[in-house]
Chains A and B, each alone.
Chain A
Amino acid sequence: MSRYLPPILVFVLFLVESIWFQTFVSPDQPLQFIPRLAMVLLVMIGIFRGPLIAAVYGLGLGLLYDVVFTDVLGIYMFTCTFIAYLFSISLPVIKQSMLYIVVIAIVAFAAFETLVYGLYSVVGVTTMEGDVFFQSRLVPSLLINGGFALLIVYPVRNLMKVLLQREGTNSV
């Protein structure tokens, strides 16, 4: 049962994201704080579980984003899988250091957001200018997702260690 805990947590964060906007965002805010909580957690899980499992979770998460929120299929599915795979660097050095984990999660978030923006610009869903995107969207979102990463890195690392020990495969 505990094997399924990580994907369930990712799904719960996905649900939290979907009500985030309804609950926290006020209309007269020039900056956009985009929560990508599920993605941040996914990259952390990927660091402990290895790239293949991360890619599978990423595919599922992207599918949810695509189907539930957007009219254009494929963008999130591709981006989530790609980023989850790319940033699941499961080296022992990184698993030990919480700082590395947070930095990787933040970089992964930035790459994720930029890639989605790029793809949406190509497809024509958004017409936002590059510098506007960077200033009023990427930087503020980096702050809240970075903060979230700092908040969860300790419990997630402990959880993953416990899970790995229980499965008896200490090194993936």
Chain B
Amino acid sequence: MPHFFSNKRLIVLMVGIIILVALVGFSMRERETITWPEQFVRDTVGVGQSILQRPAYFVSGIVDDVRDIRNVYEENQILKSRLEEYASVASERETLRQENETLQQMLDAEDSLSDYVMREALVIHRSPDQWNETIGINQGSEHGIERDMAVVTPQGLIGKVQHVSQFTSTVQLLSDDDRTNRVSAMVHTDDEPVYAFLEGWNNEHEALQLRKIESEAEIEEGQLVSTSGLGGIFPRSLAIGEVKDVEPDEYGLTMNALVEPVADFYNIEQVRVIERTTDSLEEDIEEELEDDLVEEIEEGVDEPVEDELPEGEGQ
């Protein structure tokens, strides 16, 4: 390192540090979109990654196949026993679906929070440092992907779209250690579902953290957790996981639970990006509020109008 310690180099180092701080400051604030040079770089690199990814999947697919063949007999036994249940479950499901349809027709409820459109995408990269739990997919704004859409595998929810560029986008996994990484979720109990927030990953217990559960709710181990659709972004009832452990929080006002995710966050190849078709709640409320406002002005009532929306998921 003899070339390092001279005045000129130190000045360059200082300038470097200043640029570092400036860039970190610029990019740390909540950004809705990423700048076009970033989008350009992501798309360009995405092309190379797509090319390399396919043969890699092919090879790892062969390895998986070999592993599968060794377990075929045991799996076959299990599946046979499941198959017997399947017929009864299928007929029950069909009955429920018809019943649901009839009831909805009676109610004139056309859209439900669980309606969505699905798009298939291929995973093209994943951050090699395990600090940023993000993956890249080969679909972008050209294919209709938008920020904050839910991303699922056949097993369940894995994350949401964080940044979109023209032909690729980045998905933030549920396991990412980020303050703003929250999902409105619900726990299926015997009667009413219990609503709470999924807030990131617990490193110690290797599970997702479900927080702000009402203290009188009856949550038990093994109950299923899914999205609630109340956050205004995700559709209702995408599977998330199973309750693993429940404990009161540090102030004793609400409860915290640990949730074992059903989806595998590793070795993801294909994902589906989900666009909710129901309008988000906020727009409805806003419209209603505006209508109310107009009416009240017309009627000349001078009651104070609540102009602040109820705080949603962010709090």
The answer to whether A26 and B267 touch across the interface, beta carbons within 8 angstroms, is yes
B125 touches A19 (CB 8 A): yes
Contact A23 B59 (CB under 8 A): yes
Q: A1 to B26, alpha carbons, bound, how many Å?
A: 38
Per-residue A-contact encoding for B266-297, CB less than 8 Å = 1, 0 else: 11110000000000000000000000000000
**A68 and B132 within 8 A (CB):** no
CB-defined interface of A21-63 with B at 8 Å, one 1/0 digit per residue? 1111111000010111000000000000001000000000001
Residues of A within 8 A of B57 (CB): 22-23
- Closest residue on chain B to residue A50 by CB atoms: B3
From the candidates A18, A67, A125, name the one contacting B128 in the complex (CB within 8 A): A18
Contacts of B123 in A (CB 8 A): 22
Q: Determine if A34 and B130 form an interchain contact, defined as CB atoms under 8 angstroms apart.
A: yes
Give the docked Cα–Cα distance between A35 and B128 (Å): 7
Within 8 Å of chain A (Cβ to Cβ): is B265?
Answer: yes
Closest B residue by C-beta to A69: B127
Instruction: Determine the residue in chain A with the shortest Cβ distance to B163.
Output: A71
Main DSSP-derived SS at the A contact region: helix
Bound: A72/B59 CA distance, A = 33
Which residues from 125 to 156 on chain B have a C-beta closer than 8 Å to any C-beta of chain A?
125-132, 134-136
Residues from chain A with Cβ under 8 Å of B126 in the complex = 18-19, 21-22
Query: Which chain B residues border A17 with CB–CB below 8 Å?
Result: 128
| CB contact between A72 and one of B28, B130, B269 (< 8 Å): that residue | B28
Q: Is B10 an interface residue (CB 8 A)?
A: no
Taking the closest CB of chain B, its distance from the CB of A42, in whole angstroms, is: 15
Contact B132 A71 (CB under 8 A): yes
Residues of A within 8 A of B38 (CB): 67
Q: How large is the interface on B (under 10, 10 to 19, 20 to 34, 35 or more residues)?
A: 35 or more
B24 beta carbon closer than 8 Å to chain A: yes
CB-CB under 8 A for A19 and B132, given A68-B125, A89-B1: no
Given A15-B49, A75-B20, verify A22-B269 contact (CB < 8 Å).
Answer: yes
- Residue in A closest to B135 when the chains form the complex, CB atoms: A22
Residue of B nearest to A89 (CB): B1
Given the contacts A32-B130, A70-B132, A23 and B56 also touching, CB distance less than 8 Å: yes
A156 located at the interface, meaning its Cβ lies under 8 Å from any Cβ of chain B in the complex: no
**In this assembly, does A148 line the interface, its C-beta being within 8 Å of a C-beta of chain B?**
no
**B20 near A19: Cβ-Cβ < 8 Å:** no
Q: How far is the CB of A98 from chain B (nearest CB, A)?
A: 20
B130 to chain A, nearest CB (A): 5
Chain B: minimal CB distance from A131 (Å)? 14
Excluding A36-B128, A71-B162, 7 further A-B contacts by CB distance (< 8 Å) are A19-B126, A21-B128, A23-B60, A71-B27, A74-B19, A125-B177, A126-B131
Residue contacts A-B, CB under 8 angstroms, 24 given: A15-B52, A18-B45, A19-B52, A19-B53, A19-B56, A20-B128, A21-B266, A22-B125, A22-B267, A23-B60, A25-B267, A26-B267, A27-B266, A67-B38, A68-B136, A70-B127, A71-B163, A73-B23, A73-B24, A74-B22, A78-B20, A81-B16, A82-B16, A85-B4
